Each structure stands twice: as C-alpha cells, then as structure tokens.
Structure 1
Amino acid sequence: MRPIPEQPLSDCHQLVLEIFQGVLPEGDTVVGKSFIRQVLAEVGVPEDEADTMLALVNTGYDKVCYQEFFQFMFQEQDAIVRPPRKRLSKQVEEPFLCSYFRRVFETLGGANDGGLNKAQLKEALEAFEMSLPGSANTQIEDVVAHIFEEIDQNGDSEICWNDFQKWLLSWNVPHDDSEDAARSLFTFLDRDGSGHISAQEMMDALMLMSEFESKTDRSLSVTHSEAGQIIRDLDPDGEGGIDYHTFLEVLHAARNHTPGSMNQQPHLVLNFDVNNTVVMLDSATGADSEGLISMVLSNSAWGTIDYDDNGWPIRWTLKAPELSPTQPEADLHTYSEFVVLQNPFPDSAAFGSKADLRAANEKVKASRRKALWSFAHSGMPGEAFRKDLASMQEKLLLPEAVRGTQAAKDAGLGGESVQLLPSFLHLLRELKRRGRSFTLIFRTFGKDLPQLRQELEALCQGWHPLFQKEDLVVLDGSDGQPDYRMKFDKLDGCGTFFRNPLEGDFIALAMGTVEQPSKLEEGPQFWKDKEHVQIFEGVHQVFKHYMQISSQCHTVALRDYYPGWAAANSTSAGGKPFFLGRLDPAEHCMFFDDHISPLDPKIVDPIDAHLWPRRYSSGQVYGVHLVQAQPLLSIRDRNYFVKCVEDCEAARAAKLERWHKLKRLVGDLDGVRKVLAGFIYTSVPSQRVVFRPWSSSRDVHRAQRVPTFEDE
C-alpha cells in the first residue's frame, strides 16, 4: 500500500485510515465508492456530504483511488481553492423578465438614447412570447396604453428603459426558485463576471449534477450524448461561450414542457423550396431530367482526388460502389467537389466591371454543368451508375397510360415527366390520412409558383393522374376539412418578401402579389400604388403576420427576394426568412431546401424572431427545423418526405425532453446548493467527458461539401 501523506491527522481522519488499512489487501490502491460511503458513514459523515466528496475526487466511475481521496481530505487550509468574490455580471443579477426586455430596448434603440414611443413598445411586446404581468387576456394596445399612463409622467409620448424596468419590478411576480438555482450555478461558473461560461465548463457541471440528482431520481440521469446536445443547443460551436440570457431562455422555454404535452401532435408549418426540392425542372439552365439526375449522381458518388505537384486536381477515381448523400468513408470526395475544384471562380479583383465578372462566372458555371451532365456517360467516371440514371429517369416519367391524356393536361402535365415529385404529393395525402393539422408554404426566388397551381389543384380535388388507382383523398375542402388549393386571388394566398441587407437588414412582406422590385433601391414603394396588396414593414410586423398565416390550415405561395440574398454575398443573413421562436409544443416549423447543409443554412435565414437580429445556427436547428432535401432519396423513395417529417418530429420530441430534464436538473435550488457547497474546496472537477462542438459532429463531417445544384 502506498503511504498516506505524512501530516498530523484528526481523530476522524485517523479512524478512516485505520479502517482502510485494516480492510484493504496489501498493495491494493483502488476501492469501490460503496465501500468508501460505508467508511464515511461509520465516522459520522452525512450521506450527501459523502457523495459530494466522492464526486469531487473522481466522478463518473465506480471506483476511487484512495490516495486521491486522502489528498483531498487532508489538504492544508492554505491550499484550499476558494472561488474569489467577484462582481456579478449585470445580466446575471437581473430577473429574466428585465434581462429579456433590456435587450429588446437595446435593439430598438431605447436603452441608451432615451425612450420608445407607443408603436415601438407595442412592437417589443408583440415579439415577447410570454404574458407580461397583468396582460393575460388583454389586447397589446391596452397594455401599452396602461404602461404609458403609469410611466409617461411628462407626457412626451416616450418611455425610457429605467422607468420601464421599475414598472416591471413593481409587479408582484411569483418568485421562481429555478431562476435562483440557475443564477447560482451560472454565477459560480462565470469566474470573471463576464456573463459567459465555456461549453466544457457547463458540460462538466451538468454531468456532476446529473450524478447527484439521479441518485434519488433516475429520470434525471443525463448521458454524455444528451449533455453534449444540450450544450450545442446553447453554444453549438463551442466557441462563443454560453451566455446567461440563452441559458435562462432555454430554461424558460422548458417551463410548460411536460411528458404529457410532448406527446401531443403539433401543428406543422411546412416550408418547401421549389426547384430541385419538390420540382425537378430547371428552366434557367435548360437541363433536362437526364442532366439534373446526373448532377444528383455526381454529388452522391464518392471517390478519391489525385493532385499534381502544384496541388491542382487532375483525376477523380470512384471508390464507393453505392450512391449516398453522406460520406461513406473518411477522406472520400464527391465528383461534384472535384469538378468545383477544377473549375474555380475567378478573382473578382481582376475585373474592372461587374458585368465582366458576371460573364466570367457564368462561363465557369457552364463548364461545371458540362462536366456534371455527362458524369454517367460511357467512358466517364460515373459510367458505373448508368442503370441508376435510367431508373431515376423512369421515376420522373408519368405512367405510360397517363401520358397525353386529358386528365394529365388538365393537371398541367402536358409532357412526359412529372412536375411535383410523387414523394411530395404522397406526403400531402399522408398528412390528410393521418388527420394532421398543417400549413403548406411554397418558397422560391423564381416566378414559377403559378405553374404549380394546376397540379396541386388536381391532387387536392382527388383526380391527380398519378393516384387514380389509389384510395380517394381530397384536400379541397369539399369534405368540410381545410382547403389546400393554391389561391393567388386571396390576400393571404400569396406574397413576396423584400429585404435589403445594406439598409439595416430591412425586411418587408407584401401579401396579395408575387411581383417584386427588381432593384433594392425601389424598396416597398414598389407596391404602394398596387391594389389588393397589403404591406408589412419591419421584422416584428412581418413576423406577426407570418405567424398569423402559418397558424391556418391552407397553402401559401411566398416568393423570396433574390437581390437581397445577392447583396448579402449569397449568405444566410440575406436568405429566405425563416422565423423561429422558442420551441413551442403546439407548433413545429420546418424548412426543406436542397441548399441547406449541416454546417451552413446558406440560403435560409433562421431568425430568432423574439430577439432580432439574433440568428439560430445550424447546430441548433438542423434536423429539427432545417432539412437538407436530398433529390437522390426524394426521387427514389416515395416515402422520403414522410420519413423526413417523422425524423424531425422525433428529434424535436427528444429536444423537448432534454430541455425538460435540464429545467428539472438545474431548477432544483436545494440540489444546486448542495452541489455548489462542495465547490468551496475546488473548481468544477473535470468529468473526463470532452464536449464536441457541432462543427466536429458526425453530421457535419459526413456531409456533402458542395451543393448538388447551382444557386437559384
């Protein structure tokens, strides 16, 4: 047996040492935790304190090295590490309600420069998802009037943050122990009072608290995987640090989440990109079905890339025999990636005009298309997939008995190919069969929305030629249920976004039309003289109306604004607005687009509507709200979109369960205090579980590195 450190021992320590030496075999250095608990119980150490000691010495294992245990017990008082007294971050000191509205005031310019008027305060309150004190069952206008009546003493029609904060604090809001518990934990971890803690620190704390709490309630046990997913919800990349605001928002979002509510089917809000997501046609490039499918195969075939001495890609060799939208082995690349590397865009600095640069870029795109369209031709790298090409082409053909019939023509299917993918149409029928409540929203930069109306109407009325031999399913309202036909003559049946990233990221929504200005400079004035058009300006007004139309069971055709996306350098911040609040058990929003990737929403802008201009990252919403549409699967598998919806719902349910568990775990004030009591001896002990940021996750590493199709 290795010697215990030589120093004067108390009677208690001496007794513990004698028990150890009398029981352990000579040379044995590791003992079980259950044995140490018995030893400590014999010398009068309470069970909860014993658990604290064991967790601080070695958490996550059933055995403890007794030398480490004695070093912990016998450390000199001068060596004890005590958390320094520190100034609390202002954000951590504030109640959640004040913390939230402080940021809203800052966003609207009223926290530093003076005040907000009634319209701005109304906008702020409309963005808030929880009832304010005294505002239950009350119109927002009445709440605003009441606040101004109490606060605006000088009658200048403005209120400042300090006065509004006093008004908030004047209400007798029920005390929330869970907020106190969260504040206690966060304050301890936030050593410098910055209002941020690292992802790894939170990971360690969660695992430690899970070990304590799960001893009395096994449902509070958190696995390493669950802890990692919780942290990614808070800080997906593990780089910016977890801030107190986000931490509390997640806890508050979980306040009404119970196992019972999680089992309720939510209303689905389904946003679908059009080209190459639900429609396999490309009028812009002139690609036929063979060309489009060849592009799909090119980005689903995996091989190796050889480079010359100068690092230039010279050859791609097929290695994986099966097509797959995800990387089957490490260090493999798709043929599409190889083509992109061989045909890079030119340096913009080398061109004197935008027109010349645009022409050069188009030339590069044409070269890429030529290589991709011929991928499966004889003698080309993808020749082995000729049968797959033919099979997928057949999937896009109308049945021979249907082609050229009057029914096909009436459905807008005058050629030989389908327009809307059968897997998409099957999803709509299946949702109706299952009695699901849903909103269908088409999203596209193009002008192709009216072209879909005829075929969708044929499906809704039950006479679509692809389903003539199947059971009758109608979605036209003739059975007293919601009508999902496309209606361009209704104010809420169609609309178009406008956004200008160069002017404070201005967003507007015009309902009743799909016509839009061709230039950013025209702005919403483009619609001012248009009849039967309703305009909503500013993110909160747009969000409010978006929530209104997405709460109804119908179809909406929304056109997104390509010039705004281009002005944002084709990044997510200028893309298709996708408004999300905290997870609501009653509603589940999804966006399907072939350009989305696990690491970058790119063409979709997932906006935190309650805390504009904050965005959600891919790590927070991918697989729950964002879906990368995979044509390889949506063409081959009729149930593809059904499975996608089911997978998103399962992921959402798991996320709600994690948040509910986090709420119970961190919201237990007594439990948090008990754990933190042990931290007077040390910092949070490492749990030997390393946090993996979303950027190093399996989903990201196995994803395709280039989009299957060009930007819309």
Structure 2
Amino acid sequence: MCVMSLGSLFSIFLGEWQLVSDRPSVRSPCDGAINYYTYFGRDGNFVNNKIGQSFRGVYDDHMKMLECPGKADERFTQQGEDGRSYYWILPSFFHMLESLHLEGRQFCVILRTFGVDLPSVLQSVHAALQGKHPQFPQLQQVPLTTDLTVGKIRCSKRDIVVTHGSDRISTKPKERNVYQYFSSMDGIGGFQDHFDWWARNNFQAAGGKPFWIDPTDCNTQHIIIDDNIRLSDQDTIVNCRVLSDQKKGKESRKAPTSELYDICLVQTDLLRAIAEKDYFLDCIRLCEENYEQYLQSFQVE
C-alpha cells in the first residue's frame, strides 16, 4: 500500500529515473513527472532498490503504525512476510464509522472492489460492529447493519446492471434507477465491480466503476474514495456520470475526474489514511464543502 502512495515522484531523464521530490504525494509535484508505480506496477522491493531507498524510513514508519498490538485476531489482521500481524482494514475506517454516528449523521457505506475479497471484508466489518475489534469495542453502539450478501455490477455497451440478492436494477430504461437504488441503501454493503470490462476498455475511465451524481438532489451526496482514482481519465478507475435534469432529454453526461476531484471523487492518500485517524472524516468534510459550491454552479446555470 505504501508504495502506491509514493505518488508522482520521478521523471525519466536520458533513460534514467531522476528523483524530483523527496516528499510522498498522490498528485504530481511538477509538470512532466511520472510516478514509478504507474510505469512499472506494484514493486514490493521498491524501498530496497537504489531509486526508492530514500523512502525506506517512510515505509517502515507506516508499517509500524499498521502493526497490531497484543494478540492478533485473524478477522482484522493478516500476517506479513516478517511474521508480524498487521491490520488489513485501516483503523481510520472504523474511526470514521464511530465518529459519523456520534455526530448524528445519516450515512451508508458501500464497499466496491474488482477483487474477490468482499465476503471477508464484510464479515470483518460485521464483527467490528458487534464490538469484537480489540481497538474499537465501542462500535457495538453504532446501529449499523451489515448486509453480507455481495452484489455485482456488470457493464456492457447496452447497459449497466446491478444485482443484489433478488434485486436487479438496470440503467435501461433509466440511469437514475441505479442512482436511486444506491441512495436508498442503508448500513454497510458491498458490490463487486466488472474488472473484465475495465480491462477491455484499457483501464480507462470509460470502463471503470460506474458512479452517478445527481446535482438536482440536494439531500444526498455520493462520495467515492479509491486509491486508483487519477486526474487523468486515461488511467483512472471511476466512470463518473452526472445525471441531467429529466426535462432536458439526455439523461446523463460523462464527467471528467478533474470536474469532481475532491468533490465526489477522492484519491486516497494511503500514508495519511494510515497515520491520521481523522483522514476519512477530513475527506468527507472537504467534499461536503466543495459540493455546496458545485451545486451552486448548477443553480446559476
């Protein structure tokens, strides 16, 4: 995780990688910089190589923060190659659930992944909400239910279909049907997105996780937080659709990531999410502030 969060730190100069910033970042620190992860993919030995060794201390510090104190519980931890137990769901996530409840907020958390680990994640969250997490026993006071049924989102040129148990919702005849379905959910749920469709679309936004925004709905804000969100739509994981006024004919338009960055789309800074317990709360608050301004721009139009 830490390697992915080192951001756009390098540029290629005469065939060699040159460090252009010694501070980890999720966005490019300067024009023309290319991050090592995008170019080479996940490299577990990054901080041991010559080019990444200056970040060894950052990596070690954050791995230490992820280490589980006391007796490990396999529902919340996994064993590293060093034999130590590490949290595999960030503590800041559980802190967010507790804090939003204490603030009296009405909210729903929908976990979405291209992977196959959702059943385990949902079981872990369910156990935490029963007060079984050693660091968050107070979560049993949070009145959220966990739906352990994993839904699926499948995309094609014809439509997008969401299935969840006996529910089946399609963008045909209306995209708004899917938006309203997600808006009506409560508690904690999970959906597996369509990785093959993303791959067939060259891992670009057009084939990414479909995500709808309705600027005419002032009562609900949808926010997606993902470490694979990028400002470039040629290399991002979310296909964001802004729903139009139903009276205007065309039902939606494709929105570039830049339009909704830090409004409804958050590129996770994993280092901060590990180190700062309020990280996800801060992301939500920033998005809420920016969303107010975003909605006002539509009212002006």
Same fold at TM > 0.5: yes
- Superposition map of 1:14-93 within 5 A: none
* Match in the other structure for 1:606: 240
Shift of 1:620: 2.7
**Could you give the per-residue CA deviations for residues 583-607 of structure 1, whole angstroms, max 9, x where no partner exists?**
4221111111222112327321112
Asked if the contact 2:77/2:86 (under 8 Å) is kept, the reply is yes
* Match in the other structure for 1:373: 44
Q: List gaps (5 residues or longer) in structure 2.
A: 80-84, 245-249
Q: Cα 1:396–1:582, aligned 2, differ >3 Å: closer, same or farther?
A: same
- The residue type equivalent to 1:559 in the other structure is Q
Asked if the contact 2:175/2:251 (under 8 Å) is kept, the reply is no
Asked if the contact 2:78/2:88 (under 8 Å) is kept, the reply is no
**Could you give the per-residue CA deviations for residues 41-86 of structure 1, whole angstroms, max 9, x where no partner exists?**
xxxxxxxxxxxxxxxxxxxxxxxxxxxxxxxxxxxxxxxxxxxxxx
| 1:317 matched to 2:21 | no
Higher strand share: 2
Q: Cα 1:495–1:542, aligned 2, differ >3 Å: closer, same or farther?
A: farther
**Whole-Å Cα distance in 2 between the matches of residues 645 and 658 of structure 1?**
20
**Whole-Å Cα distance in 2 between the matches of residues 295 and 380 of structure 1?**
17
**Could you give the per-residue CA deviations for residues 539-558 of structure 1, whole angstroms, max 9, x where no partner exists?**
44564254134224322211
* Match in the other structure for 2:282: 643
Match of 2:224, SS state, is strand
Match of 1:592, SS state, is strand
Q: List gaps (5 residues or longer) in structure 1.
A: 1-291, 308-312, 344-367, 478-482, 489-493, 513-532, 664-712
Asked if the contact 1:432/1:473 (under 8 Å) is kept, the reply is no
Shift of 1:444: 1.1
**Whole-Å Cα distance in 2 between the matches of residues 323 and 549 of structure 1?**
34
Q: Could you tell me the TM-score, scaled by structure 1's length? A: 0.38
- Of residues 539, 550, 568, the one that matches 2:183 is 550
Number of aligned residues: 290
**Whole-Å Cα distance in 2 between the matches of residues 544 and 454 of structure 1?**
28
Q: Cα 1:475–1:572, aligned 2, differ >3 Å: closer, same or farther?
A: farther
Match of 1:587, SS state, is coil
Asked if the contact 1:475/1:485 (under 8 Å) is kept, the reply is no
| 1:383 matched to 2:53 | yes
* Match in the other structure for 2:5: 296
- Of residues 150, 153, 166, the one that matches 1:497 is 153
**Whole-Å Cα distance in 2 between the matches of residues 318 and 414 of structure 1?**
33
Asked if the contact 2:213/2:240 (under 8 Å) is kept, the reply is yes
Q: Which structure's CA Rg is the greater one?
A: 1
* Match in the other structure for 1:672: none
* Match in the other structure for 1:420: 89
Stretch of structure 1 that moved more, 439-448 or 618-627: 618-627
Shift of 1:486: 3.1
Superposition RMSD in Å: 2.6
Asked if the contact 2:78/2:87 (under 8 Å) is kept, the reply is no
**Whole-Å Cα distance in 1 between the matches of residues 159 and 207 of structure 2?**
10
**Whole-Å Cα distance in 2 between the matches of residues 545 and 303 of structure 1?**
40
* Match in the other structure for 1:587: 220
Structure of greater relative contact order (alpha carbons < 8 Å, 6+ residues apart): 1
| 1:306 matched to 2:13 | yes
- Superposition map of 1:646-657 within 5 A: 646-657=285-296
- The residue type equivalent to 1:306 in the other structure is F
| 1:447 matched to 2:156 | no
**Whole-Å Cα distance in 2 between the matches of residues 417 and 394 of structure 1?**
9
Shift of 1:509: 1.9
Asked if the contact 2:215/2:298 (under 8 Å) is kept, the reply is no
* Match in the other structure for 2:161: 508
**Could you give the per-residue CA deviations for residues 15-65 of structure 1, whole angstroms, max 9, x where no partner exists?**
xxxxxxxxxxxxxxxxxxxxxxxxxxxxxxxxxxxxxxxxxxxxxxxxxxx
**Could you give the per-residue CA deviations for residues 116-156 of structure 1, whole angstroms, max 9, x where no partner exists?**
xxxxxxxxxxxxxxxxxxxxxxxxxxxxxxxxxxxxxxxxx
- Superposition map of 1:177-192 within 5 A: none
- Superposition map of 1:334-345 within 5 A: 334-336=35-37, 340=39
- Superposition map of 1:163-202 within 5 A: none
